[in-house]
A and B are shown apart, each in its own frame.
Chain A
Amino acid sequence: ETGVTQTPRHLVMGMTNKKSLKCEQHLGHNAMYWYKQSAKKPLELMFVYSLEERVENNSVPSRFSPECPNSSHLFLHLHTLQPEDSALYLCASSQDRGTEAFFGQGTRLTVV
């Protein structure tokens, strides 16, 4: 266990569904991240939340919407996804930028 918990571990959703991924860390870290990992592609940073700022990857479609209600919780809201959005979604946290990141086990998302 890394101290970062993601739920659910697996999710199958239709293209018209709305679902949310949840991430929780109790490590006292100041930054939380969402990454997308597709087959045979590098890890893609989607969103970052820190005490100082929110950073978005401008290439991420608007059908992905992050929410960070406090420093311990991070959500990724999903709506009208496409089959190509099927991937492993990883949450991570770190004390500060450029420091060791702790990853959750990921949510394996399949869009049908």
Chain B
Amino acid sequence: SQQGEEDPQALSIQEGENATMNCSYKTSINNLQWYRQNSGRGLVHLILIRSNEREKHSGRLRVTLDTSKKSSSLLITASRAADTASYFCATEPYTGGFKTIFGAGTRLFVKA
């Protein structure tokens, strides 16, 4: 089973609306990261939140982490058509090592 699972699998919204994506994981983590991928290209790092942090902001992005529920959310405010992409969470297990595990991603489509 996967460590990180995103929800929903796909999301379609109008430009200007907010988009919220969720990630759940199973084991204790050191940190959780969110990445973005435009179709068929490499991933771009968006934000990293450590296990002792609860919320982090970067521009229009807001990430929360609830370690008691083993879940995280990514909020994109005032979405733009250019935000259309797939978004992935990646967890760094507490056991360490190079074992960053990616979820299957949420496909976001922002209609102009």
Contacts and interface: CB of A to CB of B under 8 A. Distances in A.
Interface of A: 2, 4, 31, 33, 35, 40-43, 45, 48, 50, 53, 55, 88, 90, 92, 97-106, 108
Interface of B: 2, 4, 30-31, 33, 35, 40-45, 48, 88, 90, 92, 96-105
B80 to A, nearest CB: 21
A104 B43 CA distance: 8
Contacts of B42: 2, 4, 90, 92, 103-106
26 contacts: A31-B98, A33-B98, A41-B104, A42-B88, A42-B104, A42-B105, A43-B88, A43-B90, A45-B98, A45-B99, A45-B101, A50-B98, A88-B40, A97-B92, A97-B96, A97-B98, A98-B100, A99-B48, A100-B48, A101-B35, A101-B43, A103-B44, A105-B41, A105-B42, A106-B41, A106-B42
B43 A45 contact: no
Contact of A42 (B40, B92, B103): B103
Contact of A40 (B2, B31, B104): B104
A12 to B, nearest CB: 15
Nearest to B33: A100
A105 to B, nearest CB: 5
Contacts of B100: 45, 97-98, 101
A103 B43 contact: yes
A2 B90 CA distance: 18
Given A50-B98, A55-B97, A97-B92, A42 B2 contact: yes
Contacts of A98: 30-31, 92, 96, 100
A88 to B, nearest CB: 7
A45 B44 CA distance: 16
7 closest pairs, A vs B, by CB?
A103-B42, A43-B102, A48-B98, A98-B92, A103-B43, A100-B45, A42-B104
Contacts of A33: 98
Contacts of A102: 45
Nearest to A43: B102
